[in-house]
Amino acid sequence: MSVTTWAPVPHGSPFGVQTLPYGVFSVWGGPRRTGVRIGDHVLDLAAVAGTPAGDGLPADVGAALAGPSLDALLAQGRDGWAAARRWVTDVLTDPGAQTWASEHLRPLTDVRLHLPFTVADYVDFYSSEHHAANVGRLFRPDAEPLLPNWKRLPVGYHGRAGTVVVSGTDVVRPCGQVKPADAPEPQFGPSRRLDIEAEVGFVVGTPSPLGEPVPASALPDHVFGVVLVNDWSARDIQAWEYVPLGPFLGKSFATSVSAWVTPLEALEAARVPPPPRTHELLPYLRDDPDQPWGLDLDLEVVWNGTVVARPPFASMYWTAAQQLAHLTVNGATLRTGDLFASGTVSGPQRDQRGSFLELSWGGQDPVRLADGSLRTFLEDGDEVVITATAPGPEGTRVGLGEVRGRILPPRC
C-alpha cells in the first residue's frame, strides 16, 4: 500500500492513508453523512462518489456509503468493505482524483461527529488476565483471584446497547443502591466510586443465522472493524448488585465508543500471537498459530490531561476470534451492528492498568495528576480520554479515534 496522499496529513500522524477509519458527521445541524478520516480532516464519501472520482465504485457500495450511518456499509460484508477501502485509498492517493475530492474535505473542527452505527446487541468480555486477577483480589480477597472457568472460556455478559454513546457525550454520575461494608442496611445515593474501563470493541457487520455457531477463523468475515470503548463502571453499585448474575445497573448507565471505526483490514500489521496458554482449550476455542488474532494496540488513558496508564492490548489472554466463537457457540445469532468489547485492558505493571479501581488499588493508593491533585475515583467535572495506536504497514502507525467523556453531577 502506498503511504503517500495528496491530502494534508500532519507529519507523524497515525491517521494517514494506512488507517482510514469511517465515521458519521454533520455540518451546522445538517444531515448526517458518512465520512472517512484522513489526518485532521474528514472526506465526505457520498459527495466524492457523485463526482467522476466515483466512477470506479461498485454501485451497491456507493449506495451504502451514501447513508446517514455506517449501517448499510456494515451490512455489505467483507467484499464490500474491501471494495470501499480500495476506492477510498485510490481517491486519496491518486493525484487525478484530487481535483474532484479536495473540495469535499472538511476540517474536523468544522464538523460534529455522531454515533457511527446503530448498536444492535452489546456484549462485554473480561479477557485481561491481569485485570481479572486484580479485580478478584480486590472483590474477593480471601479466594483465588481467578475463578476456575476463567482460563477455560472467555467470561462475558450482555450489556445495554441502548446506552452506548459516542465519544464526547457527557456522563451523568449514576445514582443507585449501595451497601458499604460497615452499614447495616443498603443506602440510596450518587455513586462515590465511579470508574472507567479502557477497552477495545469489535463491530459486527455480517450477521449469522440462528442455530449456527461461527468459527473463530471467520472473524474477518463477520467483524468490520474496531472502536475504542470506555465502559464506565460504578464500583459501589456493582459490588452490592453483582452476585450472582453479574453486572447490571453499575454498568448500564453509559458506555462510550469512539466516533471512528477502524477497519480490521487496517490492523493487519498489528496481529500478534496471544500470550501462551496454560490449559488445553476445547476445539472451538483453539488458536490457529498461523492466523493469530492478538492485536498489538498501545492504549493510553488520560485523566484531566495527565497520562495515568498505558495498557497493552497484546497482553489480552482471549482474542476477538475466540470471543466471537464463544458468543455464538450456543447458536446465538450475530446481527449487523453488534458490538463486543474486550473487557478492561490491563498489563502486568501498575502504570498499565486500565481502570482506576486497579490504579488506586480499591481507593487505597491515590493517583497524582499533573496539577498536584490526588484521585481515587472520578470527581464531577473530570474528563477521561482514551487513545490507541498500532503498528501499520511500512513502519507507519495506525491510530484509533479517541473516546472522550466528562462526568456531570448526579441528578438524585
- Closer CB to Mn ion, 42 or 341, in the complex: 341
158 catalytic per annotation: no
Stretch that binds Mn ion, among 21-29, 160-168, 183-191, 192-200 (CB under 5 A): 192-200
Chain positions 26 to 55 lying near Mn ion, rule: CB under 5 A, are none
- CB of 46 or CB of 237, closer to Mn ion: 237
Nearer to Mn ion, 32 or 137 (CB): 137
- Non-local CB neighbours of 173 within 8 Å, separated by 6+ positions: 190, 191, 194, 378, 380, 407, 408, 409, 410
> Exactly one of 44, 124, 338, 358 binds Mn ion (CB under 5 A); which one?
124
Contacts of 381 (CB under 8 A, 6+ apart): 406, 407
Q: How far is CA 54 from the centre of its chain?
A: 30
> Rounded to the nearest whole angstrom, what is the least distance from the CB of residue 159 to Mn ion in the complex?
8
Binding of residue 236 to Mn ion (CB under 5 A)? no
Size of the site for Mn ion (CB under 5 A): 3
**Cβ nearer to Mn ion, comparing 71 with 197:** 197
Measured from the CB of residue 14, what is the shortest distance to Mn ion in angstroms?
25
Return phi, psi of residue 287, to 5°. Answer: -75, 145
Nearer to Mn ion, 256 or 360 (CB): 256
Strand partners, 386: 301, 403
Distance in angstroms (rounded) separating the CA atoms of residues 364 and 366: 6
Q: Which stretch binds Mn ion (CB under 5 A): 51-59, 194-202, 345-353, 379-387?
A: 194-202
If the CB atoms of residues 41 and 404 are measured against Mn ion, the closer one turns out to be 404
- Give the interface segment with Mn ion, choosing from 107-115, 133-141, 191-199, 205-213 (CB under 5 A): 191-199
User: Which residue in 104, 131, 222, 326 is the catalytic one?
Assistant: 131
CA-based torsion, 309, 314, 320, 323: positive or negative: negative
Binding to Mn ion by CB under 5 A, coded x per residue (else -) over 249-288, reads ----------------------------------------
In angstroms, rounded to a whole number, what is the distance separating the alpha carbons of residues 211 and 216?
16
CB of 13 to Mn ion, least distance (A): 29
Window contacting Mn ion (CB under 5 A); options: 65-73, 122-130, 136-144, 352-360: 122-130
> In this structure, what C-alpha cell is assigned to residue 259?
466516533
Where would I find the beta strands (DSSP E) of 108-253? Answer: 112-114, 122-125, 156-158, 164-166, 171-172, 175-178, 187-190, 194-195, 198-204, 223-230, 233-234
**Judged by CB under 5 A, which stretch of 61-69, 117-125, 178-186, 313-321 contacts Mn ion?**
117-125
Q: How far is the CB of 235 from Mn ion (least distance, A)?
A: 12
CB of 75 vs Mn ion, minimal distance in Å: 27
200 Ramachandran zone, left/alpha/beta (phi>0; psi -120 to 50): beta
231 is a contact residue toward Mn ion (CB under 5 A):
yes
231 vs 358 by CB, closer to Mn ion:
231
Bond preceding residue 244 cis, omega within 30 of 0: yes
Stretch that binds Mn ion, among 212-220, 226-234, 292-300, 383-391 (CB under 5 A): 226-234
Whole-angstrom distance, CA of residue 250 vs CA of residue 300: 24
> CB of 213: closest distance to Mn ion in angstroms?
24
What is the rounded CA–CA span in Å between residue 33 and residue 2?
27
In this structure, are residues 361 and 193 in contact, taking their beta carbons and an 8 Å threshold?
Answer: no
Residues contacting 290, CB < 8 A, separation 6+: none
CA angle centred on 31, ends 25 and 36, rounded to 5°: 30
H/E segment holding residue 239: helix 235-241
Note whether 241 binds Mn ion by CB under 5 A. Answer: no
Q: What is the nearest approach in angstroms of Mn ion to the Cβ of residue 344? A: 5
Residue 197 binding Mn ion, by CB under 5 A:
yes
State which residue, 101 or 198, has the beta carbon closest to Mn ion.
198
Residue from 44, 57, 208 nearest 110 by CA = 44
Kindly state the smallest distance separating residue 133's Cβ from Mn ion, in Å: 15
Which residue has the CB atom at the shortest distance from Mn ion? 231
The rounded distance, in Å, linking the Cα atoms of 346 and 310 is 9
Q: In Å, how far from its chain's centre is CA 182?
A: 37
Catalytic residues: 131
Residues that bind Mn ion (CB under 5 A): 124, 197, 231
